[in-house]
Amino acid sequence: MDAHTLREAQAPLKARYREEPESAVVTLTADGELDGTGVACRVRTATALAEAGLHPATGGDGTQLCSGDMLLEALVACAGVTMRAVATSIGIDVAGKVHAEGDLDFRGTLGVAKDAPVGFREIRLAFDLDTQATDDELATLIKLTERYCVVLQTIRSAPQTEVRVQR
């Protein structure tokens, strides 16, 4: 997709969202099915059924996906797609790799130490880029990628979250 094609695809959406702001609010969903016999949750993705389970650091055997890894994978995917869209839009040719890593103290999730946080205490996102972009162009690319990456902004802003149970 080139910049012209991207602008053509997005122009009517942007116009509609400006005129009807409520039409820009879309509720994304994800569903899981709890395994009745094991410690797992099956999640249907757009292309496959993914089974998440315990990380080996919490007693898992490593054969199932770890939801922490899946969070980092979602960050990498979103940052990569966002960067490619921004690069296309501003006319920068860019290729390369996206890497995310995060530090977890599993004492928190296992209830071993009350002072240990549950969840990532630090996440690092890195780009290894192959580009002829100038330093200024690269700075703009990174700034806009950070600004428009949904997963990164969600992690940074910690949105209001509700948990409820139905029977």
- Give the model confidence (pLDDT) of 137-162 as tens digits: 999 999 999 999 999 999 999 999 99
Distance (Å, whole) CA 6 – CA 131? 20
56 band by pLDDT with thresholds 50, 70 and 90: very high
- What percentage of the chain carries pLDDT values higher than 90? 95
- Name the average pLDDT for the chain: 95
- The pLDDT score that the predictor gives to residue 128 is 97
Classify domain 66-157 by CATH number.
3.30.300.20
Structure tokens at 78: 């979103």
Average pLDDT over residues 50-79: 95
pTM for this entry? 0.91
For the chain, the structural domain boundaries read 31-65, 66-157
DSSP H helices in 20-163: 67-90, 106-109, 135-148, 150-157
Distance (Å, whole) CA 103 – CA 120? 6
